[in-house]
Amino acid sequence: MLTRRGVLTGILAAALAPQAALAAPKKKKIFVINPVFSPQYVSYDSSYAPGTVVIDPRGRFLYLIEDSFTARRYGVGVGRAGRVFHGVAKVGRKAEWPRWIPTNGMIRRQPEKYARYAGGVAGGPHNPLGARALYLYRNGRDTHYRIHGTTEPWTIGRAVSNGCIRMVNEHVMDLYARVPVGARVVVI
């Protein structure tokens, strides 16, 4: 319902900021992920125990084992660390909207890009680790290898310059809810 006050407020706002009032709203580019990289249940013949996370960096998929014949599959983007890390680890901790600190190696390789972030970036929607992170440990020590969300969902299904295992934020949130601390992770 229009009121005199509402109309006057609108006219005043348009007079004070005519470009904003008359400008067409900016269209936000909508990213649509290839359906093959969306979470889905797939046949997966495996001897891994239910709850095991299996990462196939070359195939760009992460599998959460459900039983001997089924897994929940997620598409991932794989960074340099993800292409060299192999073997078994455990989820040592998990974080919602984690703080991000570039590694010394990242700063050394690309100081112009990462040196300004040496003190870290607070968690939130602009943080490179995205909405959730699962930190992988071996023998009780942090491997600095992560399964995490991303602010760049178009990198899913690709080899990306830095990072570990990237997932669409909504997908890593789903995985985060399903995988407990202590879960076994196998990188093949």
Q: Which residues are known to be catalytic?
A: 148, 164
- Written as one letter, the residue type at 8 is L
Query: Are 179 and 91 in contact, with CB atoms under 8 Å apart?
Result: yes
Strand-pairing partners, residue 78, are 159, 165
Cα(121)–Cα(115) distance, integer angstroms = 12
Q: If DSSP codes are grouped into helix, strand and coil, which group holds residue 108?
A: helix
Neighbouring C-beta atoms of residue 49, cutoff 10 Å: 11
